[in-house]
A and B are shown apart, each in its own frame.
Chain A
Amino acid sequence: MAIPRNDTVEMATARANIYGLLADVFRGAPSEVFLSKLREPDFLGALRDMDLSLDGVFERTSQAQLVEDLALEFTRLFIGPGPHIAPNEALHVEARSGESNAYWGEQTVAVKKFIEAAGLTIDDSFGGMPDHLSAEFEFMQRLLLKEAEAWASEKDELATNILKIEKRFYDEHLSQWVGNFCVKVIDATEHPFYDQFAEVTKGFVDFEKDTLQDLIDETEGGNRLSA
């Protein structure tokens, strides 16, 4: 059965949106403006559809206080000092070489090379390493936007190849650690905001596992794109 071209564009764009949003969530503490957007009915409704809720987050405190609380919780969870859960792949995955986990591990190098092979580099102003969760998510976002652009301009081979590249990055990196990382965050966080977003992230990464394969199957399995 032919897949409508608009669907492929829409699907890639939709996935890009979620990766982009989650990249922002894990890059730094949220701003007041961003929180205002999250408390709009559309977003809260989308969470409710997944049996998740940020209602308690917004109800229990003022917006200004919430910004302050989340800044502290973000620092405590992901920055330190002292015990924290640094959102870096190299700290959460057993290295293939058997070397112990540390910053700039072999996964960091692998992610860096992956990013560079796609024509991108780590921005000088970025304070994280290439295997930071927000960098990995942003990388997927950028691939997906390129994929959507390719579908829209009928560069189907390029789009399909990008899809395969997404899957490879997912298989080699995201699938290896993000789920476990989210479980750690859920166990450790004292704030429902990060609890719920860790749930969303975990759920989305699980969703991507089947989705990526399905999308490749759909585009490679003899299905022809329709206008």
Chain B
Amino acid sequence: MKKLNRRNFMTLAGASGAALAVGAGNSEKALAGNVTFKNGGRDFSPVTGKERQAIPTACWQCVTRDAMIGYVEDGRLMKLEGHPSSIRTLGKLCAKGQAGVNQVYFPDRILYPMKRVGKRGEHKWQRVSWDEALDIVASKLKPLRDAGTPELFMYQYGRHKASQAATMYDFMAAYGTKTIGNHTSVCEAAKWVGQESLWGGMYDNWDYDKTDFVVNFGSNQFETHTNHIPTSQRLIRAMVDRGVPLYTFDVRLSNTAAKSTEWVPINPGYDGLVMLSMINVIMNEGLFKRDHFKFMRVTPDHHATTDQKIAAVKKQVAKFTPAFAEKRSGVAAAKIQEIARGFAKAKSACLVTYRGTVMHYHGADQERAAMLLAAITNNLDRPGGRVMGVGAGWKAPSTPAAKVHKGLHVKDGFKGEAAYPTHHVSHQVLPVIKDGFAGRPKVYWWSCYNPGFINGDNNEWQSILKDESIMPFLITSTITYDESSQYADLILPDTTYLERWDWEDMVSANQIAEFYIRQPLVKPLGEARCQGDVWPELAKRIGFELAWKDKKDFVRRSCEMTPGVKEAGGFDYMVKEGVWHDPNDKGNYGFYEKKVDVSGDGVILDAETGVYWNWKKAGVTSEAEAKKAGYLGTKGAKGAYVAQDIGGTAYLAYPPNTKFTKSGLLDFYSDNFKVKGLPPFPTYTPTPEHEAMADDEMIMTTYKVAVHSHSRTTHCKWLTEIKHDNPGWINSKTAAERGIKDGDKIKVHNKLGAITTTAYVTEGIVPGVIAISHHFGRQHSGIYGSGKSNPINGGASADPDAKNMTWKKHGVHPNAIIPNSSDPISGTQRWMDTVVRVAKA
């Protein structure tokens, strides 16, 4: 082009003025106010002192959700630190939490609503306004609601907790859909189901502050625990200050195992067997404590004496001798005996389990074995033991549910797949929808979730998302373009957690509930909007009203409604301080020992179970009818539970507050399991695929590293710089048998396909197993996440750090060859049971 001179400049300016009068179709302007200068602009200076603020808020990088402080300077988030007044975190924040800054400012972030204009997966998008986006959404949802089929709208979430979940559920109920999917079956469902069948709707915690002995099965406590910062520092402190021993059973020498008193290598799938073997030792050597047996049920008889129960437990575990366990688990019998004795003799002891234990065939039963081990040593809900988690009980505004409120049965897997999917079978949602036996949603909306990456056989999930004939309209709320959003029809830019309001309620590590909030540290970038702000507006467009006007309003009113928080100063107090707990709370232990008055109107004693229940609250018409049907024979009885008669005393015991109908006793003998053909007492059940393995086959397990969540952190450069590759851990003996040397390229394959990675040959894993972490091998997620160079400048490639990347590898995704296969008890995804072959590539 010719250089501009004053002549052609003036021509251009004249034409520009005429066009400008029309406007480019954007009525919005960037700036507000009037140009004004003090002193006629003589001493104009835009440079002033920096404005710094310290704002209490809460993390969301993982489910631990630590309270923290954000430091904001001139409107920019500079740094995140732990909240010094938090009784959960004690002022600590992990690496993931500190890298939350990257979540806000990574250059590839999605900041504007976009609608698809090409084919699904063709990556062709058009920016639209929020007005247009919400009009589109309403045009899809309103007809379904008006036609009395709200269930054809399905919402599925990954990380939704506390008020983020509460606001979403409130909208969905008012809209009328119960077709709401979660992600729990890929996370921990078997653990929950195992516990619920015993002591109710619980989330166990470990009282490290008071414990004397810790045995850990399959939990990477010091790197990635679900309540990491609150619990890990307490366990380390117990070990260092009080000399508490920690024994870690794991197939892999995790950093937790490395920091333990002893790493006990164990073959995958045998945690429950080793626990049963420990019980065998403890029972046979008389090391058990009688105290908790009165709260246990171990035979069909609810009224068995403690001696009868002791005899029954001995009988049940008789065959699980240490020698028997050694043959299968690879753990030496003498080691099992040593740890069993130490555990039983300790004044108090914690039994820890997590994914290594439960993400297996019959994982829920292995969790039941863990509970039995804790119970016979009187370490359930006692100081220093495996205790019942305590979280904040917020009150919140709610909207009445719609008159038509129903759901599609697409959440619990295929028929007969799981006996008690109380936390659903999330990894089968799309396969079930594809099958169609339970119907198909017409609109599928996912949020804070990357289903095409995090589920097993994830390529199949992507193919279902891509197929427009299965689900005609897909919506996602996201901050980053990923393996799933590439197939959406509408992308809504979500706020990061550092730009929104919430109240939070994660479990405390010290048995005292902590109430805390999340507040925006900075204004949302671009046009990102919090879903909690979107729901009320969307409701209006569809034709109903929510009881709150936006997320801030929801949080504010919750603060004013919640006892304790309200008296402390309510919303204003929480905004200023961020956290609150009752200073007079001494910690919650032994609730089951509470004695209950059973003299109330309608309360009767059920002879068979020893349960006191209020027949007037059980949906029966008379006392006679209630007595005739009995507690277990009355459908609404568990909701009418009052107490458990134990030796003539009415105890609160363990109320049946979940889908399991049971007495107030710990149901180690479970009628619920028996009627479904499952083992009524904890036992060892071989994994069918493992029993059928050929000699050259191996088991593949997965794990998390300390600095990443499953799918929501690889665009955080500080974290990906630390960890960006995932070689396959393989034992030196196993590697040698296959001619594999450290650093060799290896192919890991099975009937689903093949992946290629690098061999990490080590003694730090048991023979016959390959372990590959599950964060990497991203298709998208920006240059840090996927390693793909941008075809044009801009985005992440505009970031000079992208040019300084010292690493070339970006890992591989093992989920591509992990089938979606459920624990038949809980429906949990069996991440740790995959059979593969491994060869030099």
Known: A86-B795, A161-B41. A21 touches B4 (CB 8 A): no
Complex contact B20–A17 (CB within 8 A): yes
28 A–B contacts, CB within 8 A, in A order: A14-B9, A18-B9, A18-B16, A20-B16, A33-B22, A34-B24, A43-B15, A43-B18, A46-B8, A46-B12, A75-B125, A81-B125, A82-B481, A83-B795, A100-B801, A104-B75, A105-B76, A113-B46, A117-B48, A118-B44, A120-B31, A123-B30, A127-B28, A129-B525, A157-B40, A157-B42, A161-B44, A204-B12
Q: Flag whether B624 is at the interface (Cβ < 8 A).
A: no
Q: Flag whether B109 is at the interface (Cβ < 8 A).
A: yes
A63 to B127, CA, bound (A): 19
A204 to B35, CA, bound (A): 23
Distance in angstroms from B100 CB to nearest chain A CB is 13
Select A113's contact among B74, B125, B126, B793, beta carbons within 8 Å. Answer: B74
| Contacting residues, chain B, for A165 (C-beta < 8 A) | 37, 41, 44
Known: A24-B23, A113-B48. A123 touches B32 (CB 8 A): yes
Closest to A114 in B: B46
Q: Flag whether A108 is at the interface (Cβ < 8 A).
A: yes
Q: By CB atoms of chain B within 10 A, which of A31, A49, A129, A168 has the most? A: A49
Complex contact B13–A15 (CB within 8 A): yes
A23 to B25, CA, bound (A): 12
Complex contact B32–A83 (CB within 8 A): no
Q: Flag whether A139 is at the interface (Cβ < 8 A).
A: yes
Complex contact A104–B104 (CB within 8 A): yes
- B residues at A contact (CB < 8 Å): 1-20, 22-26, 28-37, 40-42, 44-48, 73-77, 104-112, 114, 117, 123-127, 480-481, 485-486, 491, 522, 525-527, 780, 790-795, 797-801
A25 to B145, CA, bound (A): 40
Complex contact A104–B793 (CB within 8 A): no
Complex contact A74–B127 (CB within 8 A): yes
| Contacting residues, chain A, for B18 (C-beta < 8 A) | 37, 40, 42-43
Q: Flag whether A38 is at the interface (Cβ < 8 A).
A: yes
Q: Which residues of A in the span 115-137 have a Cβ within 8 Å of any Cβ on B?
A: 115-129, 132, 134-135
Complex contact B23–A34 (CB within 8 A): yes
Known: A83-B790, A162-B37. A21 touches B30 (CB 8 A): no
| Contacting residues, chain B, for A121 (C-beta < 8 A) | 31-33
Listed from nearest, the 7 A-B pairs whose CB atoms lie closest are: A31-B25, A85-B794, A14-B13, A81-B481, A161-B41, A119-B36, A24-B24
Known: A30-B24, A101-B800. A81 touches B491 (CB 8 A): yes
A94 to B803, CA, bound (A): 13
Closest to A132 in B: B30
- A residues at B contact (CB < 8 Å): 13-15, 17-18, 20-21, 23-25, 27-34, 36-38, 40, 42-43, 45-47, 49-52, 68, 71-72, 74-76, 79-86, 91-92, 94, 100-105, 108-110, 112-129, 132, 134-135, 138-139, 142-143, 145-146, 155, 157-158, 161-162, 164-165, 168, 184, 187-188, 199-200, 203-204, 206-207, 211
| Contacting residues, chain A, for B22 (C-beta < 8 A) | 33-34, 36-37
A146 to B24, CA, bound (A): 22
Closest to A91 in B: B798
Complex contact A104–B26 (CB within 8 A): no
Complex contact B527–A43 (CB within 8 A): no
Distance in angstroms from B781 CB to nearest chain A CB is 10
